[in-house]
Structure 1
Amino acid sequence: MDNLRAAFPGEARRGVSHQYTSRLFAFEHTPQTPLTPPQNLVIFVGGLFDGLHTVPYTSIVADALPPTWTIAQAIISSSYTGWGTCSLQKDVKELSRCVAYFRKIKSGKIVLMGHSTGCQDVLEYLTGEGRESRAPIDGGIIQAAVSDREALGISHDAETLAESCVVAQRMVDDGDEDEMMSSTDIDGAFPCPVSAKRWLSLVSPNHDGDDDMFSSDLTDKQLMKTFGSLPASTPLCILLSGDDEFFSSNLGMDQKAILERWVGIVERGEGVVDVENSGVVEGATHNLLHNPEEVVEGLVRRVVGFLSGLLPQANL
């Protein structure tokens, strides 16, 4: 216990807890220099196993935002260890309720920002089935969008992963898609229960899983269903981490090339990407933990730049 205390000394953050359903909430950071209550909002969604304050740069973004903006971290059913028993459709249904809640108390812009697997939620929100019925947002930011299938290929034996998919597919075929796989079957890949359906959603050898949006081997036709289906009214900012530990260097293309491909797909589908503020954040690791100040500032500068572009200069 003493070692844990030494490793993390603790941090206090001022904010407001918003209960947007009977069991879910969002934590809105209090602005550093509030003049009037900010009416523009970034709703932040973390990645695998993330929850409140687990992505270190959110507090830094909160402190750097223009005075008319604030950031709220959304807690959904898939937060912390809930990912393996949920789905993208459940995520966006809950996030829509979160957006709808804030629409009642905020009069300005609302942007959805995803980190890591939270990036899937942003694209699913904007392009997935039922998107027309979801509460509207004014922009999307995806940060550290990497392929979980390819990332698992870095840390796990290919044969073991293939065998896990055989087990999962058998469970699905037997009508047990919502049953949990054993930790042995998935080689202890995640510290949480994972259903057969969710496992295949991420690592299906057919490359057709719902969560498989960012793999380098996806076809243009597949990417057109996500990046190529973005509404022209909702601009996107794409931020990749230059030293992302979950990005494989054996993919045949670097992150800059992947970014350029995604931007091209968005433009082919007549969507809008903020090309000026999108980019590869040089020196950044996956969630920027312990990164040098100048690296974190590089990310923050791009986020603030994107948000500033959504408003007339006089309203920042």
Structure 2
Amino acid sequence: MVVYSPFNLVAFTNSIKSKTAVIFISGLSDNLLHPKYSIEVMNYCTNHQLLFIQPQLRSFPYYGLHPLQHDSEDLSCLLQFYDPQIDQYILIGHSTGCQDIIYLLKQNHYNKAEKIKCCILQGPVSDREYEEICVNPGVGGLLEEFNGKDIFYYRGTPFILKRFESLFVKDGDDDMFSVDLEDEKFRNLNPRAVSFHFVLSEKDEYVVQPLEVIQQKFKLVPHSTVFVVEGADHALTSGASKVFLDYLHTVINKYRLN
């Protein structure tokens, strides 16, 4: 464990000495070594002499109190902490970790983005679509009710208005993957021309739109590929992680330094 931030944030690492670092960024409410397949990714990195890093961000556990900007600032701080010893980074995002990565690159919070060789975006889903279709169709209309409140609770989670709007209102900062967004939104997701690898789960419980439609949207993103893990759920349980690790091995071998 290392402390990498002035906010006393820690990162878990396998302590391998390597010029290539694999950074795993988890989703909302995930702590270190979650989801469980992150442990398998760590073991893969150890076996292949790659540095594995998984940071804790300010948004854990109260993600509703922190905008994406805080995650991006924390990730930038982490990269700068490791810059003296690392020549290239491979970023893996799970769930909202995907939005964290894209926001980091779009906002230019890290000034050496050329060291980020590829981004593997596993389980990119739309929080807004899931909330509107499966939980509360009127969620977007709650903004007026919550406006003016410093902190409020929604479904047991404390929120500030900025993060609530980001997650549950169309075109919010978190709203990157909804299929009702204009095609141009997807064409603009990768302004730094980093290699993106979208990994979708065939049976993701948080996906509410046809997988074929989602694939077509992601194919609009420049410099990207789309891979579907058959039969997989959101967190790659029940053996699906092995398929992901095989895919990860193929991708990493394209970029890692000898």
TM-score, with structure 2 as normaliser: 0.90
Structure 1 residues 119 and 20: CA distance shift in structure 2, 3 A: same
Aligned to 1:237: 197
- Distance in 2, Cα, partners of 1:58 & 1:29: 12
Are 1:68 and 2:31 counterparts?
Answer: no
Count the aligned residue pairs.
Answer: 255
| One-letter code aligned to 1:123 | I
Structure 1 residues 245 and 88: CA distance shift in structure 2, 3 A: same
SS in 2 for 1:146: coil
Describe how 1:1-316 pairs up with structure 2 within 5 A.
17-22=1-6, 23-29=8-14, 37-65=17-45, 67-79=48-60, 81-106=61-86, 108-128=87-107, 130-131=108-109, 133=111, 136-159=115-138, 161-168=139-146, 170-171=147-148, 176=149, 179-181=150-152, 183=153, 186=154, 188=155, 191-204=156-169, 207-227=170-190, 229=191, 231-232=192-193, 234-248=194-208, 251=209, 254-266=210-222, 272-273=223-224, 275=225, 278-289=226-237, 291=238, 293=239, 295-311=240-256, 315=258
SS in 2 for 1:52: coil
Which one has the bigger strand percentage?
Answer: 2
Deviation >6 Å, runs of 4+? none
- Give 1 or 2 for the bigger CA radius of gyration: 1
Structure 1 residues 90 and 134: CA distance shift in structure 2, 3 A: farther
Percent identity, please: 28
SS in 1 for 2:120: strand
Aligned to 1:8: none
| Offset at residue 134 of structure 1 (A) | 5.7
Structure 1 residues 100 and 84: CA distance shift in structure 2, 3 A: same
- Distance in 1, Cα, partners of 2:110 & 2:11: 23
RMSD over equivalenced CA pairs, Å: 2.0
| One-letter code aligned to 1:279 | F
TM-score, with structure 1 as normaliser: 0.75
SS in 1 for 2:23: strand
Structure 1 residues 210 and 134: CA distance shift in structure 2, 3 A: farther
What residue ranges of structure 1 are gaps of 5+ in the alignment? Answer: 1-16, 32-36, 267-271
What residue ranges of structure 2 are gaps of 5+ in the alignment? Answer: none
